[in-house]
């Protein structure tokens, strides 16, 4: 099969309530056959948040392919195009970083580890002496392993004592975490992928799953193409494959105007009240705030929603009826809501719909606030993103004392006098110079953060010493003072947790190239060099290996919602990943949370006391305690407000960015896979046929897109986006290119008041044609970026993209997949 052309692979439809049939997808590099493979090594795919279980093929000390694990609960053997073609291709790329680099006379030059680490620790010690812990910031990733995040969290919070820690999870999954905390008291995905097998309807809010989690979409297609399919409702301003499936299943495609998600959600919520689709008894027993919510949504009649959002009032009514009358509803949410205006309020509104109907904790009635990145969940769990480890509350003295006891440090060392500093604020402090030491690991903010020109200025300026550790000399690494070469997936051992809480062990398959080291080893080397000590004078970090770090983390998670105490590396070497909590009560893991309708909202246990969703103002401990939530979930609402930047005569179109099927994040890995890169080699923008015609633009023409912050020059795809909107894929960096083509040149430094997620999806722009094109835009034809013009040649992979579905291999201790 050419899985570039056939993104989701062949269908295996099956009846409701039955197990998703296994299908083992495999890809081996050109010229390699199964008999050539020396060994298969346990892992899971690290190219999106789905976390598909897989084995890595090794030959002669090199990674040469991957095979899905039939026994894994996540993917039942399947892999998507990125997993198949992108998992190993980068590893042997000739431009891998193999030695540390330091900046000398303005140039990055190779050096040895001792010199590079000495440069890092000299600046770190000096700033700690002169300015204290607030001079330090750490900006990490959604792609490290749990053990690495936890080690970094302990270094930052107990070694240095800085609140300035965050990850690029702020640009993706922070809103998922924030919305869970607001509704249920703590982070934690309530639902399960098995809900797909049991539901009557699936609502996808701002979630183009068909491209962002292709294997999960296969799982949905295998239900929608069966005899008793669920109906799909899609909320998206583009006509994506999800939107097409909504139409095919008799559901609804709602395409709200960019920046109006919350008005739409308020309209759906009002319909539940207006039509008596609320389970009053369940709501009275298990929730707080229903009267306030009813009052907030009352003005959002279908006609008013139609006016604000530009959707048909009857379509809104139909979608609400599907939600209000289906026996079991699964909801999934992603960047279309998170990276948009009023992000947390919109994500919380999804919870409200479920709570009003009591559709939670039951088969088929899941909520999946999705993640973009594969290990974002672990960053949130361990506290490398600024939260405290184990979903503890920074504002709860008892939680601080627990951590201080665990690490044997003075509680005052652990920063907890104010909320943790979020990524955009860390960049502002670096801009002002109060943060003089910024360590960036496994992420590429020069491409992924909003307002790129500003980020480049901050990272290349002389106010902040920048350390970058990565696999390649990324656009960000090129601006650093010290660059540390890191080992990647398959070159190190560790665990990570996918979006539905399933923990996988990924074992080291091969040695890293040259002098590259695992991120864990790099953090441990820094801790040793800085000589961080606990209150007894013993080394603060007592672990040396990934497995020891995992055991330390297990203790940190004890008794918390994210309880790993029943997990071990030995257990994770079984046939499947295991969803947390795993403990004495649930030794085999937990498929679905809140089956007893008891939520972690007790004042002494919760992760946050909550916020006002409109302003972000914090609820105090006293206010929270007075509400006596005691296990009841919060129903919270907010009025819609217009987005920060609206269209004008100067900038008449709405600009929105997003993810596409063949690339992952800023393409650090996927651009080095020939198959993936050839399918979408350069950036583009998408216009509706109506707007393109009005501007005299045809498929493939070179256009300039401008916002008040910058401009890009790329080819135009006349495609599926709604009239009035312009879509740009966010993956493509262009440092040094003139003119620039990266989408974030145009986005702005504004964020959601609760989750602090920047707005990537609401800005104003104008588009001008520069010249006629010499062929179609470099955009794929296979999914949401499909052209309006049927004459554009289809995206195909060619000979190098042949993958196979193979017979299910025999695994030791195989209990089968359920
Ligand atoms: S769906 Fe995600 S995790 Fe699964 S193979 Fe594709 S990229 Fe990898």
Residue 160 gets which letter from DSSP? Answer: I
Distance CA 242, CA 370 (A): 15
Look up residue 648 and give its two tokens: 């004008």
- Whose tokens are 């190779």? That residue is 110
Q: Is the pTM of this model over 0.85?
A: yes
Give the model's pLDDT for residue 817. 40
pLDDT at residue 814, rounded to an integer? 44
- Residue 650: burial class (beta carbons within 10 Å; 0-12, 13-18, 19+): exposed
Atom of ligand 1 nearest to the CA of 213: 1
User: Given the CA of residue 51, which atom of ligand 1 is nearest to it?
Assistant: 3
**Candidate of 4, 9, 82 to mutate for ligand 1, largest count of ligand atoms within 8 Å of Cβ:** 82
Cα of 44 from ligand 1 centre, angstroms: 9
CATH 3.10.20.70 for domain 174-370+600-634, yes or no, is: no
3-state secondary structure (DSSP) of residue 797: coil
Rounded to the nearest 5°, which phi and psi values hold at 310? 75, 20
Integer Cα distance of 88 and 675 in angstroms: 12
- Tokens matching residue 372: 């973009």
Could you give the C-alpha distances from 806 to 23, 88, 725, in angstroms and in order?
Answer: 8, 19, 43
Q: Which of 553, 603, 544 is nearest to 582 (CA)?
A: 553
Which helix (H) or strand (E) segment holds residue 165: the answer is: strand 165-167
Q: What is the best residue among 46, 80, 81, 377 to mutate for testing ligand 1's pocket, by most ligand atoms within 8 Å of CB?
A: 80
663 in Cβ contact with 448 (< 8 Å): no
Q: Which of 348-358 are b and which e, b meaning 16 or more Cβ less than 10 Å from the residue's Cβ?
A: bbbbbbbbbbb
Q: Which residues contact 346 (CB under 8 A, 6 or more apart)?
A: 205, 261, 262, 265, 337, 340
Separation of 337 CA from ligand 1 center, angstroms? 21
The partner residues of 104 in beta bridges, in order of sequence, read 107
Ranges of residues in the chain with a pLDDT under 50 are 812-818
CA distance linking residue 453 with residue 463, whole number of Å: 16
Pocket test for ligand 1, best of 44, 47, 373, 660 (most atoms within 8 A of CB): 47
Note the pLDDT of residue 818: 36
Residue 78 CA, closest ligand 1 atom number: 5
In 10 A of CB 154, how many CB atoms? Answer: 29
* DSSP state at residue 64: E
User: What atom of ligand 1 comes closest to residue 79's alpha carbon?
Assistant: 5
For 668-694, b/e burial (b = at least 16 CB within 10 A) is bbbbbbbbbbbbbeebbbbbbbebbee
633 in Cβ contact with 183 (< 8 Å): yes
Q: Can you name the CATH fold of 117-170+375-492+510-547?
A: Rossmann fold (3.40.50)
User: Which phi and psi angles does 24 have, rounded to 5°?
Assistant: -95, 115
* Residue carrying the six token digits 């003139």: 738
If we measure between CA atoms, which residue out of 110, 636, 760, 642 comes closest to residue 347?
636
Ligand 1 atom showing the smallest separation from residue 75 Cα: 4
Domain boundaries, the chain: 117-170+375-492+510-547, 174-370+600-634, 653-771
Distance 234 CA to ligand 1 centre (A): 21
- Residues with Cβ within 8 Å of 552's Cβ and at least 6 positions away in sequence, in order, are 150, 542, 543
Ligand 1 centroid distance, CA of 402 (Å) = 37
- Using an 8 Å Cβ cutoff, are 46 and 490 in contact? no
- Tokens at residue 711, please? 């401009």
Q: How far is the CA of 220 from the centre of ligand 1 (A)?
A: 15
- φ, ψ of residue 112 in degrees (nearest 5): -100, 170
Query: Which CATH architecture fits 653-771?
Result: Beta Barrel (2.40)
Residues with CB under 6 A from ligand 1: 45, 47-48, 50-52, 75, 79-80, 82-83, 213-215
Nearest Cα neighbor of 654 from 705, 611, 603 is 705
CA distance 675 to 801: 6
Instruction: Quote the ligand 1 centre to 614 CA distance (angstroms).
Output: 35
pLDDT tens digit sequence for 228-259: 999 999 999 999 999 999 999 999 999 999 89
**If you compute the radius of gyration of the chain from its CA atoms, what whole number of angstroms results?**
25
Q: Residue 789: its pLDDT value, please?
A: 87
pLDDT of residue 816: 42
**pLDDT at 738 (0 to 100):** 62
Which residue has its alpha carbon closest to ligand 1 atom 8? Answer: 83
∠ CA 274-276-282, rounded to 5°: 125
């Amino acid at each position: 099969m050419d899985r570039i052309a056939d993104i989701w692979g062949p269908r295996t439809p099956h009846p409701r309530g039955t197990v998703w049939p296994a299908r083992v997808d495999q890809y081996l590099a050109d010229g390699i056959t199964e008999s050539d493979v020396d060994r298969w090594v346990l892992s899971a795919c690290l190219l999106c948040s789905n976390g598909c279980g897989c084995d890595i093929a090794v030959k002669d000390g090199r990674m040469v392919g991957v095979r899905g694990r039939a026994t894994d609960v996540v993917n039942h053997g399947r892999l998507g195009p990125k997993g198949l073609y992108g998992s190993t291709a980068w590893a042997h790329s000739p431009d891998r970083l193999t030695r540390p680099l330091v900046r000398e006379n303005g140039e990055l030059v190779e050096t040895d580890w001792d010199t590079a680490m000495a440069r890092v620790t000299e600046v770190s010690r000096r700033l700690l002496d002169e300015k204290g812990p607030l001079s330090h910031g750490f900006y990490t990733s959604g792609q490290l392993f749990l053990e690495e995040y936890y080690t970094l969290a302990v270094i930052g919070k107990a070694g240095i004592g800085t609140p300035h820690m965050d990850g690029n999870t702020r640009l993706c999954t922070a809103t998922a975490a924030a919305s869970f905390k607001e509704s249920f008291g703590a982070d934690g995905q309530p639902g399960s992928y098995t809900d797909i097998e049991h539901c009557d309807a699936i609502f996808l809010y701002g979630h183009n799953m068909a491209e962002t989690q292709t294997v999960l979409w296969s799982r949905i297609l295998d239900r929608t193409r069966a005899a008793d399919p669920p109906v799909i409702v899609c909320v998206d301003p583009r006509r994506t494959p999800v939107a097409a499936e909504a139409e095919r299943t008799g559901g609804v495609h709602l395409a709200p105007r960019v920046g109006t998600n919350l008005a739409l959600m308020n309209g759906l919520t009002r319909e539940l009240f207006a039509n008596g689709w609320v389970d009053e008894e369940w709501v009275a027993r298990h929730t707080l705030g229903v009267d306030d919510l009813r009052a907030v949504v009352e003005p959002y009649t279908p006609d008013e929603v139609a006016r604000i959002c530009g959707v048909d009032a009857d379509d809104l009514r139909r979608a609400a009826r599907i939600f209000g009358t289906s026996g079991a509803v699964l909801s999934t949410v992603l960047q279309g809501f998170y990276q948009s205006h009023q992000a947390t309020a919109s994500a919380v509104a999804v919870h409200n719909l479920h709570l009003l109907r009591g559709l939670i904790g039951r088969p088929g009635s899941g909520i999946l606030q999705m993640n973009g990145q594969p290990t974002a969940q672990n960053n949130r769990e361990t506290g490398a993103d600024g939260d405290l480890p184990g979903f503890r509350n920074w504002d709860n003295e008892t939680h601080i004392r627990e951590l201080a006891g665990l690490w044997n440090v003075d509680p005052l060392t652990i920063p907890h006098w104010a909320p943790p500093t979020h990524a955009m604020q860390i960049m502002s402090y670096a801009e002002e110079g109060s943060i003089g030491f910024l360590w960036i690991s496994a992420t590429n903010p020069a491409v992924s953060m909003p307002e790129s020109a500003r980020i480049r200025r901050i990272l290349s300026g002389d106010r902040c010493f920048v350390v970058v550790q990565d696999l390649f000399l990324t656009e960000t690494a090129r601006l650093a003072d010290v660059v540390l070469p890191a080992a990647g997936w398959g070159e190190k051992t560790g665990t990570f947790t996918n979006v539905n809480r399933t923990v996988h062990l990924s074992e080291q398959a091969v040695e890293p190239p040259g002098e590259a080291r695992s991120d864990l080893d790099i953090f441990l080397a820094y801790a040793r060099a800085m000589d961080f000590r606990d209150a007894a004078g013993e080394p603060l970090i007592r672990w040396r290996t990934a497995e020891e770090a995992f055991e330390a983390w297990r203790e940190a998670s004890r008794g918390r919602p994210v309880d790993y105490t029943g997990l071990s590396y030995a257990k994770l070497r079984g046939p499947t990943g295991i969803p947390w909590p795993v403990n004495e009560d649930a030794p085999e893991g937990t498929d679905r949370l809140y089956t007893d309708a008891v939520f972690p909202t007790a004042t002494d246990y919760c992760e946050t006391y909550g916020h006002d969703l409109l302003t972000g103002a914090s609820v105090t401990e006293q206010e929270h305690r007075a509400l006596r939530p005691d296990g009841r979930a919060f129903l919270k609402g907010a009025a819609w407000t217009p987005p920060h930047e609206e269209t004008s005569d100067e900038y008449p179109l709405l600009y929105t960015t997003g993810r596409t099927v063949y690339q992952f994040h800023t393409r650090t890995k996927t651009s080095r896979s020939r198959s993936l890169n050839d399918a979408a080699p350069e950036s583009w923008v998408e216009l509706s046929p109506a707007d393109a015609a009005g501007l005299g633009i045809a498929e493939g023409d070179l256009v300039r897109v401008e916002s008040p912050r910058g401009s890009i020059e790329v080819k135009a795809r006349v495609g599926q986006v709604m009239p009035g909107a312009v879509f740009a894929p966010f993956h493509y960096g262009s440092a040094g290119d003139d003119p620039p083509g990266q989408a974030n040149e145009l986005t702005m430094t504004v964020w959601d008041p609760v989750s602090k997620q920047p707005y990537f999806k609401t800005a104003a722009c104008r588009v001008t044609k520069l010249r006629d094109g010499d062929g179609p835009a470099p955009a794929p034809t296979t999914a949401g970026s499909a052209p309006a013009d049927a004459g554009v040649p289809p995206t195909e992979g060619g000979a190098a993209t042949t993958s196979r579905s193979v017979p299910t291999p025999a695994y030791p201790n195989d209990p089968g997949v359920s």
